[in-house]
Amino acid sequence: MAPQKVQTKRLPVTDPLDGAPIQLDQPGYYEGFSTLSQQAYWDDATRKVVLQRMTAAHPILFFTPAEAATMAAVLDRILPQEDRTAARRIALLPPLDDRLFHNRIEGYRYEDMPSDQDAYRQAAKAFEQMAQTACGRSFHELETMEQETLLQSLHAEKPTAPEDAWKGINIKRFWALLVSDCCSAYYAHPWAWDEIGFGGPAYPRGYMRLEEGQPEPWEVDEQRYQWAAPADTLTDTPASEQTGEKVQSQAGQGGTH
Amino acid sequence: MSLFDRNKPLFGSFGKPKDGLHHLGPLQQIKPPQRVFRDDEEIDYLIVGVGSAGGVLLQRLARAGFKVAGFEAGPFWDTERDWVSDETGSHNLYWNDLRITGGTDPLALGNNNSGKGVGGGSVHWAAFTPRFHPSDFEVYTQDGVGADWPITYEEIEPYYQLLEQELPVAGPAWYPWGKPHGHPYGPHPMGGVGDTLIDGCTKLGIGVSAGGPVAILSASRGDRPHCIYRGFCIQACKVGAKASTLVTHVPDALEHGAEVRDNSMVSRISVKDGRVDGVHYFDRDGNERFQRAKAVIVSGYAIETPRLLLNSACAGHENGLANSSGTLGKYLMAQAGNVILGRFDQPVRMYKAPPAHALTEEFYETDPKRDFARGFAVQTVGPLPIAFAKQMSVAKNQWGWGLRRTMMDYNHWSALGLLGEILPWKDNTVELADGKGGRPEARDRYGLPVAKVTFNLHDNDTKLIEFGKNKTMEIMRAAGATEVVQEARYAHLVGGARMSKRPEDGVCDKFGRTWDVPNLFVMDGSVMPTQGSANPGLTIQALAARTADYLISQGSAVFTANGRDLTSPPCRHSLSPPGTFTKGIPHLR
Amino acid sequence: MSPFPDASPKAIVQLIPPPFRSPAEIVVDHIQHGTFQRSMALLVCSTSLISGMEVGYEHYRGSFSNPIMYTPILLSGVLAAAGGAGFFSRRAAQTVMRWASFVTLADGLIGFGFHIRGIARKPGGWRLPVFNLVMGPPVFAPLLFGTSAYLGVIASYLQREEDHGWKGKTIDAVKTATTLRKPDWREDIRVGRFQKHLCVVTAIGTVCSGGEAWYSHYKDNFKYRVQWSPVLLTPILAGAALWSLRSKRAANTVLPVASALAMLNGVVGTGYHIRGILRRPGGRKKPLYNTLYGPPIFAPMLFAACGMLGMMAYLMRRERS
Ligand SMILES: Cc1cc2nc3c(=O)[nH]c(=O)nc-3n(C[C@H](O)[C@H](O)[C@H](O)COP(=O)(O)OP(=O)(O)OC[C@H]3O[C@@H](n4cnc5c(N)ncnc54)[C@H](O)[C@@H]3O)c2cc1C
Ligand code: SF4
């Protein structure tokens, strides 16, 4: 089989000369692909759900303004979007806030964890305390690198001071909850589907080209290029390489078979 | 090429269903459930939970002429209006009410285990339908671990054959493992993940089954269309190609006079003079009511069944209803469900085709060369973006730009699922979170204590998982993956109210009749003494059909007598939904 | 004088080097006088075996979810047997083989109806014509299945090899001339004068088979450029056949060339399809599954069969009127 073609037509996220971020309407390797353009082929119920996800206004009801500022900054680091143009960023906080406000839980709580709501409240406070202790500023005012360093310490289950900020929370489980909430918000969005080349809703029309990664007539072939994360980030290298040790994460949660 | 670039189907976008009918797929429409029993009317069989087992029981008993009602905590789905082909939008298919999970290896619940709504777990299952092997029924005799079943493979075999035709099951004409058999519907075409498994297995000389066995239509059948390979099985099949009792058995049950009382949560089973006389339940408006019944069958899933029986504790049954053996809520099992992910240089696009379409059971049986008892299967899975993102955040320990980068390669990844047998252990339990005896306290919106699930892996389990995981990774590499990672997971909860030969070893006898209360039955995944490494759905439905035959043979004796007749009933072929025997391929049974 | 050399079958035969010329002459002579019932019966027998196998596995793939799906398989068995009988017995050829062929032809038409309905009943139905055509029951397959039945009908009206007389004066032809029976299509077949008729059938068959090639290769995303070849040949062969209705010259020139190309294409295609099956995951270790879901092994043969029909038309005499 032919080797991967690396295209240079699209630019990396950072300008190789001055390192300034270059923003695209649609990052990823599927230029010109749009799941939304296919919405006439979706069934009515699905179309309604997806479009509402894109348009509905979500006032922040669960988090206080201060908590919201912190959490928005945290979520922006868990799934950063500086490579997207401002109009094409996917809101992460509102779906989370909505979920917590309406108590839409995943159907369980770990015995060593408080409720999702309590966990997030405490976490918002803890992030702020970590920022103040380490840098003397609010979390959302920190530089990207500073924020990442703090989050990195949490990911490694060794959060920086103060000691008792995370008391009562199993950090490994909270981390999983946090990342999974971000993923649920980001990858539920048609723009994210376009980015990763996922076909989106498929009923009544299904798929015909099942094998060898062939695109459907309305899908787009992958056009690879050398995608690069911004230079000033800790998170583009695998965790094990960052910390030099293997982080044992907890068992996964989604149903598969 | 303008015909194909069109961004609309002929005559414009697909609209809403216009008629006032209730839809079970694009072609199957029914009148909304009609029959309603009065609360004080004594019905024959009251079934708690219309899921995999409950749906089959309801249909059989209604056909046999009994007055039956299925009480279902969730809604009666209208597939065209309620279901969507979207991951997030399908959140409400699952049992999302609170449960507490703990132990050394806590299980994720919610969308990882049970459904809520008519059809139960069969609405969101992937529909893998392998049979258990004959050895599964005598694990203790053969390996000295786990437990024996009070029945043999031969006793359940006719029901496997029957259910395989009713669902029906698509798969190869020759299935070599366990007791070899064929399938009534032809195999499915492969998607990218299936090709990975076939490629990897054949390169390593491992036998592999292509295109099944899955309860997904590989051809249209009456008013259920052929699968359209859209890959949203776990988000419920709007097409109606995937079998769920909602589309396979419940319509026939309604046709024959059964009632389905949806949005009705049974809170307590009432006992009078040693016999059950009805259930307390919360109706759709949250009012507590009481329904009289001559007999009750609990089919609420391996967590809700023990929970309901524990919540029904009363004088004479202080430790929970039907718990004189002390085994209620014990011996809970889950299968090891590690997901092994491999990246390929060429695109795979694993979201196409049903996630379930190929498997190998080459490692199913105990192998004396390995240092653990029992075995595992390897199956295809096809996570959609959100599920995949969560898996990658765990498997690669990524977040931030790294996760975004990995996700951009979504179409290059393929995923295989391990399905490993975990043995029944007494310390794996469902208890009540009632705040007593050191247990935490948590209640649902009706004020009932929720379930607390405890799960611990034991030595045999850990060894099995390690071996199975490595074997699956080997297959993935043989298929050509250049990077292979994995995520630990568990799947398929069963056990918790197991059947047994002797009253002191379990909650119920081999027909699901509880040892303590003669007109109280348990029939769902919770009756399983061991679980093999086959997905449990088919076995659950086969057991339910067998129990129905038993109840029909017993006639009204169940409602009056306290004696226990353990003779096996004949397997009735006259109670299957219409069309069962006129369609499909003649095959090796 | 025409600027073109004479390309009629008779003239072409003269170009064949001597040792092979005379058998070729005999063949052409028999074809042109409709005295090849036994060979045709044998052809019917073998083609219906092949198409029986094809519907067999296609309908297995469709899980026989409607009992009517067994009928083409049974009928192709019956037709094969009838073809065999027709080889040995004139009576059988004119009775059993004829009836079996008509019934099978009717079954093909009914099947066509069912396949159209099958597509209509898929989610989205005919509002998703392309998708459901590709993923639904193969719409033209029942018509193509009718090809061998059609050959059976033709065969049943032909004369037998032993009826062949001296220099085209076959016994029956003489008889016809004297009895002055009203010449209808059956009479045309009997005396080997049905070129236009065959051209029409060739054109229909080619469009159907080419249509199948188009949508199955479209399903495969035209991954290899050679997958376009049957699609491109389709208008050429169908066009040649239709042109031949009006022009005898076309029937003697473009028609045989296009037909030969189609036959060649079918043979090469079969080779590619076999290679495709072997290259699937599992390859020869999963022979049955990969035959079932690999490139359809008989499909290129069907295209070749259309070429064969065209070739036969070329060899045939034209209708009198
Ligand atoms: C993602 C996923 C994939 C799966 N894939 C497969 C697969 O490929 N093959 C396979 O064999 N299995 C699979 N399973 C497992 C399968 O779905 C379950 O094992 C099976 O459905 C369990 O059947 P059950 O009858 O025990 O319970 P369920 O089918 O869950 O039915 C229980 C019903 O009872 C109702 N109920 C519970 N308590 C009450 C109450 N108190 N009052 C009223 N109603 C109540 C519930 O709402 C529910 O509808 C999968 C599971 C998941 C989560
Ligand atoms: S892949 Fe097939 S079975 Fe699964 S949801 Fe789609 S149509 Fe239904």
pLDDT digits (tens, 9 = 90+) for B176-196: 999 999 999 999 999 999 999
For the segment B82-103, the average pLDDT, to the nearest whole number, is: 93
B81–A257 C-beta distance less than 8 A = no
Of B381, B384, B398, the CB nearest to A257: B381
Specify whether domain B20-560 bears CATH 3.50.50.60.
yes
| Cβ–Cβ pairs < 8 A, chains A and B | 323
Position A165 in a domain: yes
Mean pLDDT computed over every residue of chain C: 89
Q: Residue B549 is which amino acid?
A: D
CA–CA gap between residue C159 and residue C165 (Å, rounded):
11
For the segment A172-177, the average pLDDT, to the nearest whole number, is: 95
pLDDT(C293) > 60: yes
Instruction: Say what the pLDDT of residue A4 is.
Output: 47
Percentage of chain A beyond pLDDT 70 is 84
- The band of B325, judged by pLDDT with boundaries at 50, 70 and 90, is very high
The closest residue, in CA terms, to atom 6 on ligand 2 is B230
pLDDT(A245) > 50: no
CA–CA gap between residue B368 and residue A56 (Å, rounded):
60
In angstroms, the Cα distances linking A219 to A193, A223, B5 are 11, 12, 10
**Which of A165-174, B26-35, C286-295 shows the lowest mean pLDDT across its residues?**
B26-35
CB atoms closer than 10 angstroms to residue A215: 18
Peptide bond into B168 cis (omega under 30): yes
Of A204, A214, A215, the CB nearest to C128: A204
Instruction: Say what the pLDDT of residue A12 is.
Output: 53
For the segment C141-156, the average pLDDT, to the nearest whole number, is: 92
Residue A158 domain boundaries: 8-196
C220 interaction partners in chain A (CB closer than 8 Å):
209, 214
CA–CA gap between residue C114 and residue B79 (Å, rounded):
27
Return the percent helix, strand and coil in chain C, to nearest 5: 75, 0, 20
Of A205, A209, A212, the CB nearest to C124: A205
User: What's the CA angle centered on C31, arms C27 and C36, to 5 degrees?
Assistant: 90
Tell me how many domains chain A contains: 1
Instruction: Say what the pLDDT of residue A103 is.
Output: 92
Lookup result for tokens 């568990």: B490
Do residues A257 and B356 touch, judged by C-beta distance below 8 A? yes
Q: Is B399 on the interface with A (CB under 8 A)?
A: yes
The DSSP secondary structure of C142-175, one letter per residue, reads HHHHHHHHHHHHHHHHSBPGGG--BTTB-HHHHH
Mean pLDDT computed over every residue of chain B: 94
pLDDT(B410) > 70: yes
Ligand closest to Cα of B125 equals 1
| Cβ–Cβ pairs < 8 A, chains A and C | 27
CA–CA gap between residue B83 and residue A81 (Å, rounded):
31
Determine the distance separating the centroid of ligand 2 and the alpha carbon of B232, expressed in angstroms: 6
Q: Is C67 on the interface with A (CB under 8 A)?
A: no
For the segment B565-573, the average pLDDT, to the nearest whole number, is: 94
pLDDT(C296) > 60: yes
Q: Residue B184 is which amino acid?
A: P
Sequence-separated (6 or more) residues with CB below 8 Å from residue C126: B10, C119, C120, C132
Query: pLDDT higher for C177 or A84?
Result: A84
| C-beta of B262 in contact with ligand 1 (< 6 A) | no
Instruction: Say what the pLDDT of residue C21 is.
Output: 86
Atom of ligand 1 nearest to the CA of B539: 11
Instruction: Say what the pLDDT of residue C89 is.
Output: 92
Of B189, B239, B479, the CB nearest to C293: B189
C102 forms beta bridges with: none
- The band of A34, judged by pLDDT with boundaries at 50, 70 and 90, is very high
Sequence-separated (6 or more) residues with CB below 8 Å from residue B105: A251, B455, B456, B457, B490
pLDDT(B355) > 60: yes
Pick from B559, B105, B119, B109: which is nearest to B297 by CA? B559
User: What's the CA angle centered on A14, arms A9 and A15, to 5 degrees?
Assistant: 70
Determine the distance separating the centroid of ligand 1 and the alpha carbon of A35, expressed in angstroms: 32
Query: Residues enclosing ligand 2, CB less than 6 A?
Result: B 216, 227-233, 237, 239, 241-242, 354
CA–CA gap between residue C289 and residue C267 (Å, rounded):
23
pLDDT(A136) > 50: yes
CA–CA gap between residue C90 and residue C93 (Å, rounded):
5
Instruction: Say what the pLDDT of residue C177 is.
Output: 52
Domain boundaries, chain B: 20-560
Instruction: Say what the pLDDT of residue A8 is.
Output: 46
Interface of B with A in 188-247 (CB under 8 A): 189-192, 195, 227-232, 234, 238-239
Determine the distance separating the centroid of ligand 1 and the alpha carbon of B439, expressed in angstroms: 26
Chain A nearest CA to C126, separation (Å): 11
The dihedral built from the CA positions of residue B403, B405, B407 and B413, taken in this order, carries a sign that is negative
Of B110, B190, B385, the CB nearest to A211: B190
**Which of A18-22, A86-90, C295-299 shows the lowest mean pLDDT across its residues?**
A18-22
User: What's the CA angle centered on B584, arms B582 and B586, to 5 degrees?
Assistant: 95
pLDDT(B490) > 60: yes
A206–C131 C-beta distance less than 8 A = yes
Sequence-separated (6 or more) residues with CB below 8 Å from residue C12: none
pTM, 2 dp: 0.92
Q: Which residues of B572-587 are buried (b: 16+ CB within 10 A; e: fewer)?
A: beebbbebbeebbbeb
A217 interaction partners in chain C (CB closer than 8 Å):
130, 218
Mean pLDDT computed over every residue of chain A: 86
Instruction: Provide ipTM, 2 decimals.
Output: 0.92
pLDDT digits (tens, 9 = 90+) for C14-53: 888 888 888 888 888 888 888 889 999 999 999 999 999 9
Position A171 in a domain: yes
Helix (H) or strand (E) holding B289: strand B288-298
**Tokens describing residue C41:** 């019966």
A225 interaction partners in chain B (CB closer than 8 Å):
none
Do residues C93 and C152 touch, judged by C-beta distance below 8 A? no
Interface test with B, best of A74, A108, A225, A233 (most B CBs within 10 A): A108
Chain C nearest CA to B188, separation (Å): 8
CA–CA gap between residue B494 and residue B499 (Å, rounded):
12
Q: Taking each helix axis as running N to C, give the angle between helix C37-61 and helix C96-120, from 0 to 180 degrees, rounded to the nearest 10.
A: 30
**Tokens describing residue B73:** 């905590």
Helix (H) or strand (E) holding B413: strand B413-420
Interface test with A, best of C221, C280, C286 (most A CBs within 10 A): C221
Backbone angles phi, psi at B431, to 5 degrees: -125, 180
Determine the distance separating the centroid of ligand 2 and the alpha carbon of B253, expressed in angstroms: 24
B401 interaction partners in chain A (CB closer than 8 Å):
80, 229-230, 233, 235-236
Q: Taking each helix axis as running N to C, give the angle between helix C37-61 and helix C71-88, from 0 to 180 degrees, rounded to the nearest 10.
A: 160
* Residues on C contacting B at a C-beta cutoff of 8 Å: 60-67, 118, 121-124, 126-130, 135-136, 280-283, 285-286, 288-289, 292-293
Atom of ligand 2 nearest to the CA of A202: 6
**Tokens describing residue C256:** 């045989």
Interface test with C, best of B6, B10, B357 (most C CBs within 10 A): B10
Percentage of chain B beyond pLDDT 70 is 99
Contacts of B147-154 spanning 24+ positions with Cβ under 8 A: B147/B331, B147/B424, B147/B498, B147/B500, B147/B505, B147/B529, B147/B530, B148/B501, B148/B529, B149/B499, B149/B510, B149/B529, B149/B530, B150/B499, B150/B500, B150/B501, B150/B509, B150/B510, B150/B529, B151/B499, B151/B510, B153/B178, B153/B179
Do residues C57 and C92 touch, judged by C-beta distance below 8 A? no
Q: Is C26 on the interface with A (CB under 8 A)?
A: no
- The band of B295, judged by pLDDT with boundaries at 50, 70 and 90, is very high
Q: Residue B43 is which amino acid?
A: I
Ligand closest to Cα of B48 equals 1
Ligand closest to Cα of B231 equals 2
The DSSP output letter for A16 is T
Instruction: Say what the pLDDT of residue A205 is.
Output: 92
pLDDT(B395) > 70: yes
| Pocket probe mutation, ligand 1, options B87, B111, B125, B359, max atoms within 8 Å of Cβ | B125
Q: Is A203 on the interface with C (CB under 8 A)?
A: yes
The DSSP secondary structure of A56-112, one letter per residue, reads ------SS-HHHHHHHHHHHHHHS--TTB-GGGPPP-HHHHHHHHHTT---S-EETT
For the segment C226-248, the average pLDDT, to the nearest whole number, is: 94
